[in-house]
Structure 1
Amino acid sequence: MSSEDSASRIRSAASLLVKGGTLTSDACPKCGGVQVRFANKTTCINCGNEVKAGAAQKAEPEKAAPAQASSGLASAASLIEEKIMLLATEIKNESDISVQKQKAELLESYLRILEKTKSLLG
């Protein structure tokens, strides 16, 4: 998986969150990554795996205990915070302005995801 593909998936996930999508408490069945649900489709931020929501899948999140959902969101928020710190360090050490811009855009996406995640945590 290239970093460009990963950045694209993260931007896409951030866009879905801004449009009203939600981070799920369920890990991706393929890679264990964080997933975003929007318009009856769940997409993994990590590997890009997409699953259309069926009747059985819609019932699962309702059965999940609030503590599990909160724990999953807290874990996602922690992961995103780590990525933000790492990216900030990379930007600081980067001399190429075009690479700085690309990383700054990714940082902005991370911050939007983090904001949405923390708002869901209450």
Structure 2
Amino acid sequence: MSAELRKKAAEMLLKGATLLAEPCPYCNGVRIMKDGNALCVNCGKEPDAHKTDQETISENQTSKKHSAVLISLKNKLEELTTELASEKDSEKQRQILKSINSLIETIDKLEK
């Protein structure tokens, strides 16, 4: 911890800041909070003024899950397209086309 960070943290604590139970998401250091502003005593990072660290982490996790779902749906779409090309039974073709249409609609909604 640099002397400058140590001094800033001490000043914040003297002015009523509190220690946070959650560690810094970047370095797992101790954080203090004053007037809605969190400061990591170890690395000095502060969260975006509009987002907390937990919101940012949650958005990243949601984005990764969202991407995984899209990949899975697109893979299934590819499988059904291949299956449709070789299917001779018209009733099965209709079922496959209905499934393809549903997948396309879902993918479109997720990508927006």
> Normalising by the residue count of structure 2, what TM-score does the alignment of the two structures yield?
0.49
> Normalising by the residue count of structure 1, what TM-score does the alignment of the two structures yield?
0.45
- Tell me which of the two structures has the higher relative contact order, counting C-alpha pairs closer than 8 angstroms and 6 or more residues apart: 1
- Bigger radius of gyration among the two: 2
